[in-house]
Structure 1
Amino acid sequence: MRVKKLMISLLGVLAVATLASCGKKDESAEGNKEEKKALVVQFVPTNNDGSMEAKTKPFAEYLSKALDREVKVTLATDYSTIVEAMASKQVDIGIMPPAAYVQAKDMDAAEAILTSQLGDNDEETGLPIEGQLTNTFKGEVLVKADSPMKELKDLKGKKIATLSPNSASGYIYPVAELKEVGVDPTTEATLTTVNDIPSEITAVLNGQMDAAFVFEGARNVFGASFGDKDLFKELKVLYLTKGDIPNDAIAVQPTMDETLKEQVKEAFLKMKDDEKGAEAMTIWSHLGYEEAADAGYDTIREYTEKAAE
């Protein structure tokens, strides 16, 4: 009987120990889960027709799997809101247009870990160059194909569709270079800010505007949005900016853990070599990423000053 009682006591002790051990494991697992908090990614959509939100799902799924944590993707309403979101630490990773990145960087609210790569375009034809990537682009001034305008200064007195004053190609660079040729578009032309590039293009096509400030290659990117209209026949490039504009920055909170920064960087660098990753990148027309050099964004600061003079 004593042996039987002793065995029962031992079994009871083992059971309690096992439950305690399981409890510790569960607590540990819960702790690890809490440590891997969800990351919030934000970007500025190239159009506001409501289609961009659905396209964020493949990207969120890819990055979530790569980082082994939940990833939430949100859309900024414009260039200034993504800067505000980074500054208030509501966003962990920003896919940031160059001028917005510089603004956030100067507020100590963003650190570029990578620069995006885009397909390069032939400046004569406006068509993509097969297999060639670039980390810069130019601003482009589009007018109707039958427009009598031939050079940049011909925009004097004209109606021009622009993007936000924080947009490098949609405002800053063309305004700065217009001033260089003796035309101040803020006083010698009519500038109208619109929500997105498709809206700019539409305004030129229907004659509401004489010109639009867009990014190089916009006719390629948005051609499918205009049904049976051939944008290469309907529109021509009046001018390409002399200044090169650095591509989007993949920026993180400067206070982000260094190990996590490296994980984020690796996840983006591997995207182009992964089928699902490559699909996810199409939301921004990105074709790859490379190490970021913050000095490459100094030209944005220079042009911003010129445009504001």
Structure 2
Amino acid sequence: MAIKKMTKGLIAISLALFLTGCSSKGDTESAAADKLVVQFVPTNNDGTMEAKAKPFAEYLSKKLDREVEVTLATDYSTIVEAMASGQVDLGIMPPAAYVQAKDMDAAEAILTSQLGEYDQETGLPIEGEKTNTFKGEILVRADSGLNELTDLKGKKIATLSPNSASGYIYPVAEMKDAGVDPTTDATLTTVNDIPSEFTAVLNGQMDAAFVFEGARNVFASSFAENDLFTELKVLYLTEGDIPNDAIAVQPTMDDTLKSDIKEVFLHMADDEEGAEAMALWGHQGYEEAADTAYDTIRAYTQKAAE
């Protein structure tokens, strides 16, 4: 009888441990399934963006009531790869990267960002004005004597990734339209970020740089010993308008979660924490995405690649 009781007791304990183990495993898998992985492309690679990503993750986690992990893409192509492989649920994607992922059925834009409008004469922001497009800029030293696109023939030009709309695609395409193919008539050098482009032009290593509209204003504080508006000038603004960043999710994402994410981003400017999060990319607001707005990227990408 004692043996029977002991056997029953051991079975009961084993069953309890088994069920506890199953429950624990199930809870872990459920928590992992509920985690939202977010990725964005940093505007510079000086190491400061990692620290700023943590409060953004905490902000989203609080608003969405789920665990959020925020990661940084090393460049424009890695965020596309991360979306395509399903490693990232939500991408804050530069326009050309979004189009590439969209064409792979790996991303769906639920919102488009709004940026501050710039005065094209002064390069300074226009207070209270927002826009959902921007232009590419070609910057040169103010004392360079370079004034036209054709003056860049034979020159050294700093660019961003070939997947960057303003840092490569649009300037290259429009230079070709002007009769100068920078891929053969000039020397293009890819650098890590815009501050590195500025430095290369300022110290004479490069004659020009492809950047986004308003870049001098955005990075002025990083160049305390230089007056970027005095030392650099805009040689050219692209004629084509570039659509802003896309807030893109996995196309298979649950509709309820998509809706929740949209609501969080649409109201991000309403509180201090949200406004600080938006400042990571210079965003000033969000609006419903018009996917057709990104069609121009495809045409320019094809032209730049010819």
Both proteins in one fold, TM over 0.5? yes
1:255 to 232, 237, 252: 252
Shift of the alpha carbon at 1:193? 0.4
* Structure 2 unaligned blocks of 5 or more: 1-19
Gaps of 5+ in 1: 1-22
Q: Which of 230, 234, 237 is the equivalent residue of 1:237?
A: 234
Q: Which residue of 2 aligns with 1:8?
A: none
CA separation in 2, counterparts of 1:265 and 1:212?
35
Hey, what does 2:12 align to over in structure 1?
none
Question: TM-score when scaled to structure 1?
Answer: 0.89
Q: Which residue of 1 aligns with 2:150?
A: 153
Matched position secondary structure for 1:214: strand
Give, as a single letter, the amino acid of the residue that structure 1 aligns with 2:104.
M
Q: For 1:30-86, what per-residue CA distance to the aligned partner results, in whole angstroms no more than 9, with x for missing partners?
A: 599638611110011111111110011221111111100011000001010000000
1:168-189 per-position Cα deviation (integer Å, ceiling 9, x unaligned)? 0000000000000100110100
| C-alpha displacement of 1:280 | 1.0
How far apart are the structure 1 equivalents of 2:32 and 2:86? 17
Contact 1:36 1:69 in 2 (8 A): no
CA RMSD of aligned residues (A): 1.6
How far does residue 228 in structure 1 lie from its aligned partner after superposition? 2.7
1:175 aligns with 2:205: no
Partner of 2:86: 89
Which whole-Å CA distance do the structure 1 matches of 2:85 and 2:29 have between them? 26
Q: Secondary structure at the match of 2:279?
A: helix
CA contact (8 A) 1:58 1:279 kept: no
| C-alpha distance in 2 between matches for 1:123 and 1:281 | 24
What's the secondary structure of 1:160's corresponding residue?
A: strand
Spell out the pairing of 1:1-309 with structure 2 (5 A cutoff): 30=27, 34=31, 37-309=34-306
Q: CA shift at 1:294, angstroms?
A: 0.5
Distance 1:280 1:228 in 2: 28
Q: Which has the larger radius of gyration?
A: 1
Structure 1 counterpart SS, 2:138: strand
1:96 Cα shift? 0.3
- Cα distance in 1 for partners of 2:302, 2:277 equals 35
Shift of the 33–148 alpha-carbon distance from structure 1 to 2, 3 Å rule, reads same
Q: How many residues align?
A: 284
In the other structure, the counterpart of 2:10 is: none
- Provide the rounded CA distance (Å) in 2 between the counterparts of 1:33 and 1:103: 31
Which residue is equivalent to 1:15?
Answer: none
Once the two structures are overlaid, the 10-residue window that deviates more, 56-65 or 233-242, is 56-65
Aligned partner of 2:7 in structure 1 is: none
